[in-house]
């Protein structure tokens, strides 16, 4: 198979690998965003009853932001073995992405919630709105425009970090480069092709993320 | 029996006493104006009354019933009878004018959406903004936003309305329209407690003027009494400072 | 931090139902799941059609035929073989699984499948005739992490330096590129990769150093399955099937064949399940701590060198000539839009093609430095931009000199703006330095991989490693915050 980097087989192989890269990133970050949202809101509750949960959420965030993603990947690989031995490597890597993304996205969502001016919340309070109504009708709609741009930027960032999943043997883009090189392509060609593919994905996505930022910054409502 | 009866009320921030055993009453239909130097605790008093800052001592009675500020249900009941308008309007930026006016009645009073909307439109007409129902707050001028904020407070149908320097954040040419709104409100018989630096206006619409300093009531009486024949030296010096100004 | 341990313990408690399947369950499902290495020709590798092929694959198929079940191949990296067996993800593991006492503590083995005669692959560059002559400190031996050969070498050839890599192909590449002088490994397995480098004059030293035996791995206590596999495999040895398949793959007979004696084996123990054993990793704590120091070194070098590059790039983008602006902008977007890992792949594997050979430590640190430069240039540019024109105007009106303006107006402001992002980025670098492990640098993660492949206590080892990273970054954050407060008046968030 060595020789033509642009043969249909090689291109299909790279496309499939790229698909896995995007899948891990998108699914992991999306689930991470949802959980991160829950954790960020949880951390901003006041009920004494929830104190242990607040404490656990804080510990979770602190822990997973201080462990290298590579170490998280390895830990997930070996601990997931215990209860889901049939899960694919791609699934395992996606769990690792989710765990890491949750920690970072909790912080991003939290910063967005904190950016809603205090008087907005006080106004809701004096109108007698419940905690949940305040969250749903006042805080979240306003936090949204502050949360989305960095969250999108984070997801674009993470496309690159998933390259480490190659260590588990997930045939994503970086591992695809390794396989090509092991099949006889020169490292420059194999890894170079992969590098270009990453750039082709990351650059436009980054553009979209930052245009999102300026679009949302332009209008405060909606 | 006074509608609002504040007795020996104290409050503060982080151990610092701001309100220091303050007592004050208002009858139904009264327009009570709070005046006094900056930092005397006027805003703090309103925040304590509406339950945003917890009191450290004293009681507040509305229609003879003591308000329990430590209790969620107590606060909820309080906020059905009392509403507040802030200096900075604090309209919900994510909602239209109509949304701002209907959110709380629908969610907390259980008013049907259609009814809430009809009432909101009436209120908007009263403050002269019938055509702005679909606008977002950042599309309105300061004076318009403040009138919406007043309408939003009224949408809760409070017996007592608190107004904290509602004209201070406005351009001078916008002050008049908001004062006009309050003036017409006063004639509806609602009980109001307002903080204002517009002395001519205070004098015109108040039934009672309260001079505050260092978290206490220095002197209170009819507008004429406070503005023309103040008895306390502190009130006198305050009046002189304003006139010189 | 106990939480992590707790978390893992909980995860493993859940584990209870997930155990290896017994023979009945396998027969019932009709499918035998066999782990093979996806990157290990001619044992097993992806063929052109994307299907796995090779000696192991053929052995697995033949075994399946004799056991009356269909074979499902599960790609399994070397380090995952034992955990996958223990958890029951795979029923059998192939892939040159050497029979060792450490592995016997966790899994069972069939009778030997093939021998593993350890010899020396080198090039004409190294003028030695016998493996004993390799015991010199000026020689670098390349090894594949996780292989039995690592510990054998430590015993028989203690002097040479060692270079650890992750894949079979990487070992031969390391020699071809001159990073290492020789490979001590099963010659049969590795010689095939030399075809990728026809320009190198490859040599194999005649006498094997040591012969080990590889068996088929099974979960512990799965006696009926083991008996069935032993019976089938012994029959395959006796009727010449194994020999035939070996010749198909290697073009020659096994250097040391499996003897009849070895086919008559004794029963293994029947203990099952996974028990935590923290002792091996606790013993290795000083070794891990030494790795943490190297991690910090990488992060510090990348940070300061990156700061210099970043400042230059930031100034070029703000005040440079149009060309300087473009170059700096292109550098930043090229680096920030591609993974650091792939950049380092290129630095490490592709640069030798043009004659520049960087040691792993240098390649990784350089890669991280380039990244740091790009990201720090963004942070610094933001800091410089944050100086308000009104403040500069005020300074101008007050008649301050250019230098005074820089020292008293601009710098304090810039430092206060960028300090916290810089400190955060340093933490990112400490975590990012773990990538070095994938290139054989023995920093914290690399050492964790080393000991976990030897002691097979992966979860314990990496849980402790995670805790070390947490401790390291907490201390770094605290010191940086303290320095920021006392030296630059940076307040807490
Ligand atoms: N959230 C707070 N935390 C701590 N101190 C506060 C807070 N809000 C107000 N204060 C202090 O309480 C005192 C009274 O403030 P308050 O706003 O009630 O005065 P005021 O009479 O409304 O003044 P002004 O006329 O300037 O609005 C001031 O000294 C102020 O600094
Ligand atoms: Mg005030």
What residues does each domain of chain B span? 4-244
* Distances B43 to B202, B211, C127 between C-alpha atoms, Å: 16, 13, 91
Cβ of B157 under 8 Å from any chain A Cβ?
A: no
Q: Give the residue, B99 or C45, on which the prediction is more confident.
A: B99
Q: What's the rounded mean pLDDT across residues B120-128?
A: 92
CB atoms < 10 A from the CB of C360, how many? 23
Work out the pLDDT band at A218, boundaries 50, 70, 90. low
Tokens 């314990």, residue located: C460
Q: What pLDDT shows up at residue A219?
A: 59
Pairing of strands C182-186, C140-144: parallel
Q: Whose CA is nearest to atom 3 of ligand 1?
A: B13
Please give the backbone phi and psi of residue C99, each rounded to the nearest 5 degrees, phi first. Answer: -80, 110
Q: What pLDDT shows up at residue C269?
A: 41
Q: What pLDDT shows up at residue B6?
A: 94
Asked if residue C212 lies in contact with residue C98, where contact means CB atoms within 8 angstroms, the answer is yes
Cβ of A199 under 8 Å from any chain C Cβ?
A: yes
Contacts of A129 in chain B (CB under 8 A): 103-104, 107-108
Atom of ligand 1 nearest to the CA of B197: 25
Asked if residue C377 lies in contact with residue C332, where contact means CB atoms within 8 angstroms, the answer is yes
Q: Is the pLDDT of residue C264 over 60?
A: yes
Asked if residue C94 lies in contact with residue C60, where contact means CB atoms within 8 angstroms, the answer is yes
CA–CA distance, B85 with B162 (Å, rounded to integer):
6
- Written as one string, the DSSP assignment of C399-414 is T--HHHIIIIIIHHHH
B43 CB within 6 A, ligand 1: yes
Q: Is the pLDDT of residue A1 over 80?
A: no
Residues whose CB is less than 8 angstroms from the CB of residue C454 and which lie 6 or more positions away in sequence, other chains included:
C102, C150, C151
Residues whose CB is less than 8 angstroms from the CB of residue C327 and which lie 6 or more positions away in sequence, other chains included:
C316
Q: What pLDDT shows up at residue A2?
A: 44
User: What is the average pLDDT value for chain A, to the nearest integer?
Assistant: 90
Give residue-wise pLDDT tens across range C361-419: 999 999 999 999 999 999 999 888 887 777 777 777 777 777 777 777 778 888 888 99
* Distances A21 to A5, A166, B126, B199, C406 between C-alpha atoms, Å: 20, 10, 59, 68, 46
Look up the ipTM and state it. Answer: 0.93
> What are the structural domains of chain C?
17-114+213-275 (3.40.190.10), 115-210 (3.40.190.10), 282-488 (1.10.3720.10)
Q: What's the rounded mean pLDDT across residues C98-126?
A: 84
Q: Give the residue, C30 or A173, on which the prediction is more confident.
A: A173
Tokens 């007050």, residue located: C398
Q: What pLDDT shows up at residue C86?
A: 81
Work out the pLDDT band at C17, boundaries 50, 70, 90. very low
Q: Is the pLDDT of residue C152 over 80?
A: no
% of chain B at pLDDT higher than 70 = 99
Q: Is the pLDDT of residue B183 over 90?
A: no
CA–CA distance, A16 with C422 (Å, rounded to integer):
37
Q: What pLDDT shows up at residue C386?
A: 81
The residue of chain A with its CA nearest to that of B75 is A128
The region of weakest confidence among A99-108, C46-55, C115-124, C263-272 is C263-272
Q: Write out residues 279-338 of C within 8 Å (CB-CB) of A.
A: 333-334, 336-338
What burial letters (b/e) apply to C415-430, b meaning 16+ CB within 10 Å? bbbbbbbbbebbbbbb
Domain B4-244 CATH (choose: 3.90.870.40, 3.90.550.10, 3.40.50.300, 3.50.50.60): 3.40.50.300
User: What is the average pLDDT value for chain C, to the nearest integer?
Assistant: 84
Angle at C226 between CA C224 and CA C227, to 5 degrees: 65
Q: Is the pLDDT of residue C286 over 90?
A: yes
Q: What pLDDT shows up at residue A222?
A: 47
Rounded to an integer, what is the distance from CA C114 to the centroid of its chain? 26
Could C350 and A161 be called an inter-chain contact, meaning their C-beta atoms sit closer than 8 Å? no
Q: What's the rounded mean pLDDT across residues A88-96?
A: 91
The region of weakest confidence among A12-16, A58-62, B194-198, C183-187 is C183-187
Please give the structure tokens belonging to residue B45. 């008093």
Q: Whose CA is nearest to atom 6 of ligand 1?
A: B13
The residue of chain C with its CA nearest to that of A160 is C339
Give residue-wise pLDDT tens across range A12-54: 989 999 999 999 999 999 999 999 999 999 999 988 999 999 9
Q: Is the pLDDT of residue B240 over 90?
A: no
Asked if residue B8 lies in contact with residue B22, where contact means CB atoms within 8 angstroms, the answer is yes
Please give the backbone phi and psi of residue C302, each rounded to the nearest 5 degrees, phi first. Answer: -60, -35
Q: What pLDDT shows up at residue C267?
A: 42
Q: Write out residues 94-153 of C within 8 Å (CB-CB) of A.
A: none
B41 CB within 6 A, ligand 1: yes
Which strand (E) or helix (H) includes residue A209? helix A187-218
CA–CA distance, C90 with C387 (Å, rounded to integer):
61
Work out the pLDDT band at A93, boundaries 50, 70, 90. very high
Ligand nearest to the CA of B197: 1
Q: What's the rounded mean pLDDT across residues B200-220?
A: 91
Residues whose CB is less than 8 angstroms from the CB of residue A5 and which lie 6 or more positions away in sequence, other chains included:
A180, A185, A189, A190, A193
Q: Is B37 exposed, middle or buried (0-12, 13-18, 19+ CB in 10 A)?
A: middle
Q: What's the rounded mean pLDDT across residues A59-83?
A: 90
Give residue-wise pLDDT tens across range A160-199: 999 999 988 888 999 999 888 877 788 899 999 999 999 9
Asked if residue A97 lies in contact with residue A24, where contact means CB atoms within 8 angstroms, the answer is yes
Q: What's the rounded mean pLDDT across residues A53-76?
A: 95
Asked if residue C369 lies in contact with residue C302, where contact means CB atoms within 8 angstroms, the answer is yes
Q: What pLDDT shows up at residue C493?
A: 55
Q: What pLDDT shows up at residue B117?
A: 95
Give residue-wise pLDDT tens across range C39-93: 887 888 887 767 888 999 999 999 998 888 899 998 888 778 888 888 788 999 9
Work out the pLDDT band at C146, boundaries 50, 70, 90. low
**DSSP 8-state symbol, B67:** P
> What are the structural domains of chain A?
8-220 (1.10.3720.10)
Q: Whose CA is nearest to atom 19 of ligand 1?
A: B39
Work out the pLDDT band at C492, boundaries 50, 70, 90. low
| B43 CA from centroid of ligand 1 (Å) | 7
Residues with CB under 5 A from ligand 2 (ion): B 43
CA–CA distance, C151 with C100 (Å, rounded to integer):
11
CA–CA distance, C65 with C434 (Å, rounded to integer):
44
């Amino acid at each position: 198979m060595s020789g033509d980097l642009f043969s249909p087989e090689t291109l299909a192989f790279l496309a499939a690998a790229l698909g896995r890269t995007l899948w891990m990133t998108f699914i992991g970050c999306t689930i991470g965003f949802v959980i991160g949202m829950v954790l960020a809101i949880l951390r901003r509750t006041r009920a004494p009853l929830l104190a242990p949960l607040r404490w656990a959420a804080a510990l979770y965030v602190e822990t997973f932001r201080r462990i290298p993603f590579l170490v998280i990947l390895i830990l997930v690989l070996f601990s997931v073995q215990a209860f889901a031995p049939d899960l694919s490597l791609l699934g395992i890597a996606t769990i690792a992405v989710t765990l890491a993304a949750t920690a970072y996205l909790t912080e991003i969502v939290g910063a967005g919630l904190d950016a809603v001016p205090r008087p907005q919340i006080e106004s809701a309070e004096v109108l007698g709105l419940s905690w949940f109504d305040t969250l749903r009708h006042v805080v979240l709609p306003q936090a949204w425009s502050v949360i989305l741009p960095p969250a999108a930027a984070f997801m674009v960032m993470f496309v690159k970090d998933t390259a480490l999943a190659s260590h588990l043997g997930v045939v994503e883009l970086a591992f695809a480069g390794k396989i090509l090189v092991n099949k006889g392509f020169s490292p420059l060609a194999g890894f170079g092709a992969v590098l270009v593919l990453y750039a082709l994905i990351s650059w436009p996505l980054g553009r979209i993320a930052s245009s999102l930022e300026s679009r949302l910054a332009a209008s405060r409502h909606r | 029996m006074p509608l609002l009866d504040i007795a020996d009320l104290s409050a503060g921030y982080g151990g610092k006493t701001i309100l220091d055993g303050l007592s004050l009453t208002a009858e139904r239909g009264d327009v009570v104006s709070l005046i006094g130097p900056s930092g005397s605790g006027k805003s703090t008093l309103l925040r304590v009354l509406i339950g945003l800052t917890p009191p450290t001592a004293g009681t507040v009675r509305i229609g003879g019933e003591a308000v329990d500020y430590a209790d969620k249900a107590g606060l909820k009941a309080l906020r059905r009878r009392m509403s507040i308008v802030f200096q900075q309007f604090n309209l919900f930026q994510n909602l239209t004018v109509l949304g701002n006016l209907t959110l709380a009645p629908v969610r907390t009073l259980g008013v049907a959406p259609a009814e809430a909307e009809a009432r909101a439109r009436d209120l908007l007409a009263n403050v002269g903004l019938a055509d702005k129902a679909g606008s977002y707050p950042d599309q309105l001028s300061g004076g318009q936003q403040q009138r919406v904020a007043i309408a939003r407070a009224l949408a809760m149908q409070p017996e007592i309305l608190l107004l904290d320097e509602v004209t201070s954040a406005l351009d001078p040419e916008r002050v008049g329209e908001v004062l006009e709104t309050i003036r017409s409100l006063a004639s509806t018989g609602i009980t109001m407690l307002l903080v204002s630096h517009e002395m001519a206006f205070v004098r015109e619409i108040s039934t009672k003027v309260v001079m505050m300093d260092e978290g206490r009531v220095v002197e209170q009486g009819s507008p004429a009494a406070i503005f023309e024949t103040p008895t306390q030296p502190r009130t006198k010096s305050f009046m002189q400072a304003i006139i010189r100004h | 931090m106990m939480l992590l341990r707790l978390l893992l313990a909980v995860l493993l408690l859940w584990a209870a139902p997930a155990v290896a399947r017994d023979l009945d369950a396998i027969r019932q499902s009709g499918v035998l799941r066999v782990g093979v290495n996806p990157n290990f020709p001619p044992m097993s590798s992806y063929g052109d059609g994307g299907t796995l092929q090779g000696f192991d694959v053929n052995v697995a198929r033949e075994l399946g035929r004799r056991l009356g079940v269909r074979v499902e191949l599960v790609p399994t990296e070397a380090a995952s073989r034992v955990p996958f067996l223990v958890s029951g993800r795979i029923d059998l593991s192939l892939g040159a699984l050497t029979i060792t006492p450490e592995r016997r503590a966790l899994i069972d083995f069939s009778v030997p499948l093939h021998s593993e005669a350890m010899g020396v692959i080198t090039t004409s560059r190294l003028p030695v005739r016998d493996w004993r002559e390799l015991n010199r400190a000026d020689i670098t031996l390349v090894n594949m992490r996780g292989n039995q050969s690592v510990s054998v070498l430590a015993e028989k050839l203690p002097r040479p330096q060692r270079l650890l890599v992750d894949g079979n192909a990487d070992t031969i590449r390391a020699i071809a590129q001159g990073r290492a002088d020789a490979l001590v490994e099963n010659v049969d397995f590795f010689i095939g990769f030399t075809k990728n480098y026809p320009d190198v004059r490859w040599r194999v030293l005649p006498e094997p150093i040591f012969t080990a035996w590889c068996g088929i791995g099974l979960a512990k206590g799965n006696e009926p399955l083991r008996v069935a596999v032993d019976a089938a495999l012994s029959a395959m040895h006796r009727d010449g099937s194994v020999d035939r398949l070996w010749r198909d793959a290697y073009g020659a007979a096994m250097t040391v064949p499996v003897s009849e004696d070895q086919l008559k084996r004794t029963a293994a123990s029947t203990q099952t399940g996974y028990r935590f054993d923290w002792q091996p990793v606790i013993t290795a704590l000083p070794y891990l701590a030494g790795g943490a120091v190297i991690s910090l070194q990488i992060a510090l070098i990348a940070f300061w060198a990156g700061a210099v590059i970043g400042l230059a790039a930031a100034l070029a983008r703000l005040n440079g000539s149009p060309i300087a602006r473009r170059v700096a902008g292109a550098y930043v977007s090229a680096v920030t839009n591609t993974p650091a890992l792939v950049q380092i792949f290129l630095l490490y594997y592709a640069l030798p093609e043009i004659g520049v050979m960087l040691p792993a430590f240098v390649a990784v640190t350089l890669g991280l430095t380039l990244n740091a430069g790009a990201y720090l240039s963004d942070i610094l540019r933001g800091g410089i931009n944050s100086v308000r024109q009104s403040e500069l105007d005020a300074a101008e009106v007050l008649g301050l000199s250019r230098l005074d303006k820089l020292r008293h107006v601009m710098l304090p402001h810039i430092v206060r703006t960028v300090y916290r992002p810089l400190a955060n980025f340093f933490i990112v670098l400490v975590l990012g330095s773990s990538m070095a492990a994938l290139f054989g640098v023995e920093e914290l993660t690399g050492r964790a991989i080393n000991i976990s492949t030897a002691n097979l206590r992966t979860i314990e080892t990496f849980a402790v490693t995670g805790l070390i990273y947490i401790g390291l970054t907490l201390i770094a954050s605290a010191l940086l915050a303290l320095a920021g407060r006392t030296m630059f008046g940076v307040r807490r968030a």
